[in-house]
Structures are given as structure tokens and as C-alpha cells.
Structure 1
Amino acid sequence: MTSISIFMILLSVLFLVFIIRLIRQSTFTLENSLLWLGIGIIMLLFSVFPGIPEYFSTLFGFETMSNFLLVMAVLFSLIQLIVFTKHITKQTNEIKSLIQEVSILKEKIERMGKEK
């Protein structure tokens, strides 16, 4: 085993430990934590068995494994960006709705105060 393989295995294990600590601290939602745990496990698998990414890079026609891994990282980042944008849009709409409800309730309370 080469020193780069050992370094990548160590890095993958540290990444998994970091993700598990964030999950225990309730920093992530279940959906996000499963995604990051999956990425950590894939990183560990690719570190222990470097033939797996080599096989897929050859299968998909990439000249080098590093190009394949870079494309996979970019695609993962784009998927994460879409998921986060979806969550932000949903929360923005919920905030607008809450603001409207609070404004209506505030108006009703003011009217009731003036009637008394």
C-alpha cells in the first residue's frame, strides 16, 4: 500500500468521524446526514479499493481517474446546490406565509383592543 493510499484512507476515516460528530450534535437533518455519510463511505471504498474508480473512469471513457473523480465531485456539488436551493425556496415561502399570518393576527388584536 502506497503512502498516498494510507493518507486517503486516513482522510476518509477522519471525514466520517467528523460527519458522525455533526450528526450527534444535531447539526444535520436526516436527509443531509445520510447523503454525507454515503459520500464518506464512497471515499473510504475508493481509498481502500482504487480499482473501483479506475474501472468506472475507463467504463465512462475518461483518460485519467482524476478527471473522473473531478467530474463526480462537480456533479455532486451541483446536486447539493439544487437540493439546498429547493430548501431555501421552501423556507422563503413559509416565512412569507408566517409574516402574513402574524400581520393578520396583529391587526385583529389591534381591532379588538380598540373595540374595548
Structure 2
Amino acid sequence: MDQLIVVDAANVIGSRPDGWWKDRAGAARRLLAELAGLTDTTDVIVVLEGAAKAGADVAVKPLKVVLAQGSGDDTIVDVVATDPHDKIIVVTSDRELRERVAAHGAETVGPSWLWDRIT
């Protein structure tokens, strides 16, 4: 199946109280490294915003990292609305974002779904 996972990095990182707020770029780097294993079975796009964008300085192939120019949520909606994959899963617990991407046919799951697969 032609599947894509779109990760709301801010939401996923923020779901664990591990001190991420002290080093947002470092938290983003750790998430990207952990996500690299998922790409064996599916395509993955990670959306970074704000200070976490500095975490994209390390290439983690074959992940695709999208740096939000403004709102991370708006960027995720744009990705979902324009991506050609047959099935798109957005990882977020943001209720409003879930509704917005569902309007474009995406399925949503919470951060724990993702953490269970990568840790």
C-alpha cells in the first residue's frame, strides 16, 4: 500500500516530559534519529517548527523533513492536501489539526501510537 506518515513533531516531542523544552533542537534531532527505522515500511514526513527547526541540521535519510515557515499545523495541512499517497496517517493529538486533515481524507493517530513503534 502506498502509505505516508506525517509527524507533527512539536506535538509528538511535547507528549513526553523529558526536558525537551530545554533543548528543542536536540529533542528534534533525537526524534528524527528514532524515526529513521520506520522508513523501512513506509514514507515519513516530519514537520518541524520554531526552535526545533535547528534540529534538521543533521540529515537522517530517508526521512523527509519539512520546515514550517509559519504555523506547523498549516504546513501539515498543506502536506496532506497536496500529497499523492493513497493512505496518509497524521500523528498528532491536536484536536483541531485532526479535524483539518480529516477533511482531506487523512487518518489520525496519537503520539503514543508512534512512540510504541519507535522505542
- Please, what TM-score do these two structures have when normalized by structure 1? 0.30
Normalising by structure 2, what TM-score? 0.30
Larger radius of gyration: 1
Q: Higher RCO, 1 or 2 (CA under 8 Å, sep at least 6)?
A: 2
More strand per residue: 2
